[in-house]
Amino acid sequence: MRILGVDPGLTRCGLGVIDAAGARQVRLVHVEAATSPAGDPVPARLARLADALEAVLDQHRPDAVALERVFAQANVRTVMGTAQVSGVVMLAAERRGLPVALYTPSEVKAAVTGDGRAAKPQVGYMVARVLGLAEPPRPADAADALAIAITHAWKGGAAPAGSAATTSAQRRWAEAERASRRRG
């Protein structure tokens, strides 16, 4: 299963694509941090990030999208930008018929490091280790996007075809949908 992980942000939006197989096997496909200039109007910034997202969706054709859940912060501007970008991501996924899963930062940290309060460098280190990379992807938003995708894979979002979690009819339907998206 191919998973797009998204660490939403208005200035930097992490986009990480992995392929996941059974037994916690994951492989890096693509990673980047899309950016938008802080001085631009918010609609222009959202459009720029949406274009980057659409390009990744078109090029890599994921089967699912995993997104960091917006959480309350003291900085309202930051949480508003994060929420706006999350909406753009959910809309793009919905229009493509892709399932979206939301994970809190603590869930992601716990899944990847074993500690729900891990620091960003520890998350980056573990992402690099899990994916067999020489060093953590930079900036941290890129590593976080991959951590979100890995979390989705490991929390059962990437059950391999033929698993007991789905019926044979569900597996055939899902495969037909994936084949249709790849041809489109």
Binding-site residue numbers for Mg(2+) are 7, 68, 141
63 noted as active-site residue: no
Our separate counts of H helices and E strands in the chain read 6, 5
């999208």: which residue's tokens? 65
94 noted as active-site residue: no
Catalytic residue among 19, 32, 63, 68, which?
68
What is the CA angle 84-90-95, rounded to 5?
130
Strand-pairing partners, residue 170, are none
7 noted as active-site residue: yes
Q: Are 149 and 5 in contact (CB under 8 A)?
A: yes
Token pair of 125, please? Answer: 């280190």
Catalytic residue among 19, 32, 63, 141, which?
141
Catalytic residue among 7, 19, 32, 63, which?
7
CA dist 10 and 33 (Å) reads 11
CA dist 97 and 160 (Å) reads 19
Token pair of 14, please? Answer: 């992490």
Residues marked as catalytic:
7, 68, 141
